[in-house]
Chains A and B, each alone.
Chain A
Amino acid sequence: MSVPVAETKTGAARVGIGGPVGSGKTALVEQLIPRFAKRRTRLAVITNDLVTKEDAERLQKSGLIDPERVVAVEAGACPHTVIREDPTLNLDAAEMLELRFAPLDLVLLESGGDNLASTFSLELVDYWMFVIDVAGGGDIPRKRGPGVLQSDVLIINKSDLAPHVGVDLEQMIREAEAVRGGKPVVVTNCRTGEGIDRVVEYIAHDVLFDG
């Protein structure tokens, strides 16, 4: 039995992007932005930079999106807390973006990057993706971290590096699919864009109910 919360969420859909440091979350966002722009999806981005504003500034300077639509929310050295135990600062940032840029269809929320234990609260996002990369180790899926198990989409990035880091990519994919019980696993190369269209399709279908 769930306890009813008085104020329910309305407005833009929110999609969280989590995963370990360096797995390619910002690169994924950089690939998603132009694809959603092409679909005329009205977009804003929140980043939870851990120490610097580097991720937010990278997106703001990229030319891919109006820099005013990219907002950095500091996590006070608590990247899990700001997306899970206490997401009120991220909720506030999303509400401020919606007020400023209404109407908005989609807010992407990039986590600060920490470890395999991070998960998004569904009070903050409607849907979330977890990005791991092959250079982080082929054994990550079978470690069954909450991010790997619970995310709506698991993204295995940097597919091109597998042979260079001794990872059997096919085995990694099989193990990911097995531990996730059939929930989506998408292999990507966020530098070249390989696999990104499939990620967009999942968001468009499952979240935006568009296509």
Chain B
Amino acid sequence: MPGAPMVEQDDLLLSLQMADSAFPSGGFAFSWGLETLKADGHVCDGGGVYAFAHAQLRWRWASSDRVFLRRAADLEALDALVALDREVEAMTLAKEMRDGSCRSGRALLRAHAALGSRDVAQYRKAIAEGRALGHLPVAQAVAWRAAGMTADAMEAVSAYTLVAGIGQAAVRLALMGPLEAQVMLTRLRPEISRLLAQALPDQPHAFVPMAEIAVMRHETGDARLFAN
């Protein structure tokens, strides 16, 4: 942006780095139920992937993950972050959702540890000691605050990476091609903007029953390209 203040350009570059799918965070190994929904015949094409992604965004991310992310972004004390982490655990029903959230959260923190943040090191220590779990919304807040992101930028990157990750999983599941995945992202971007502009719900809540059942069925499923 020619003439834009240096701070704005720095913030943009930071968000680009954090949202880049090349940033190592383990996200590529999770389908959040899409693999089983395809195996069970419930999602067969790009239209089905769009509906899945929209539901994940609207009825899980915006109403639950966003709330936890924002709350964690406002917390400095380690004990309070750990308590919030435990609350995410209590509110996540399916085992592979909990596992996926913790594994991807820990992977994100592992990558950020390489950037040298003391807060990230402290939270990783709390996880190693068994006090914290590393659920993704809390891990994102800890890692991204340490990197210097604003809470608004954290929300945008969190929503974007969820949807982009679903698109990448769909490509590998042969549900859509990479160009169609970009069309899907383009259609969902205004919805992300709309959700980001809405007031935060008072209490976290999520309701994506078909996806959650699919994640539960994935535990005993034969095909396991993805971790959930």
- List the interface of chain A (C-beta within 8 A of B): 5-7, 49-53, 73-78, 81-82, 85-89, 91-92, 95, 99
The proximity string for B residues 98-129 relative to A, scoring 1 for CB distances below 8 Å and 0 otherwise, is: 00000100111011011110000100000010
Instruction: Tell me if B28 and A7 are in contact (CB < 8 A).
Output: no
Which of A73, A76, A88 meets B25, CB within 8 Å? A88
Residue of A nearest to B115 (CB): A6
Q: A53-B224, A89-B103, A99-B128 are in contact. Are A76 and B110 (CB under 8 A)?
A: no
The A interface is mostly helix, strand or loop, or mixed, namely loop
Q: A7-B113, A51-B225, A75-B29 are in contact. Are A88 and B169 (CB under 8 A)?
A: no
Q: A7-B114, A88-B107, A88-B108 are in contact. Are A76 and B24 (CB under 8 A)?
A: no
- List the interface of chain B (C-beta within 8 A of A): 22, 24-26, 28-31, 103, 106-108, 110-111, 113-116, 121, 128, 169, 172-173, 222-227
Residue of A nearest to B102 (CB): A92
Instruction: Tell me if A88 and B26 are in contact (CB < 8 A).
Output: yes
Instruction: Tell me if B225 and A6 are in contact (CB < 8 A).
Output: no
Instruction: Tell me if A76 and B121 are in contact (CB < 8 A).
Output: no
Which of B29, B30, B110, B169 meets A91, CB within 8 Å? B110
Contacts of B121 in A (CB 8 A): 7
Instruction: Tell me if A76 and B172 are in contact (CB < 8 A).
Output: yes
Instruction: Tell me if B24 and A77 are in contact (CB < 8 A).
Output: no
Instruction: Tell me if B22 and A89 are in contact (CB < 8 A).
Output: no
Instruction: Tell me if B29 and A6 are in contact (CB < 8 A).
Output: no
User: In the assembled complex, how far is the CB of residue B155 from the closest CB belonging to chain A, in whole angstroms?
Assistant: 22
Which of A75, A85, A95 meets B24, CB within 8 Å? A85
Contacts of A91 in B (CB 8 A): 107, 110
Instruction: Tell me if B31 and A76 are in contact (CB < 8 A).
Output: yes
Residue of A nearest to B24 (CB): A86
Residue of A nearest to B100 (CB): A74
User: In the assembled complex, how far is the CB of residue A32 from the closest CB belonging to chain B, in whole angstroms?
Assistant: 25
User: In the assembled complex, how far is the CB of residue A162 from the closest CB belonging to chain B, in whole angstroms?
Assistant: 34
Residue of B nearest to A87 (CB): B24
Which of B24, B173, B222, B225 meets A74, CB within 8 Å? B225
| 14 intermolecular pairs with C-beta atoms under 8 Å apart | A5-B114, A6-B116, A51-B223, A51-B224, A76-B28, A76-B227, A77-B173, A81-B28, A82-B28, A82-B29, A85-B24, A88-B110, A89-B29, A92-B107
Smallest CB-CB A-B distances: 4 pairs: A6-B116, A88-B107, A76-B29, A86-B24
Instruction: Tell me if B224 and A49 are in contact (CB < 8 A).
Output: yes
Contacts of A88 in B (CB 8 A): 24-26, 107-108, 110-111
Instruction: Give the CA-CA distance A85 to B116 in the complex, in Å.
Output: 20
Contacts of B22 in A (CB 8 A): 85-86
Instruction: Tell me if A86 and B25 are in contact (CB < 8 A).
Output: yes
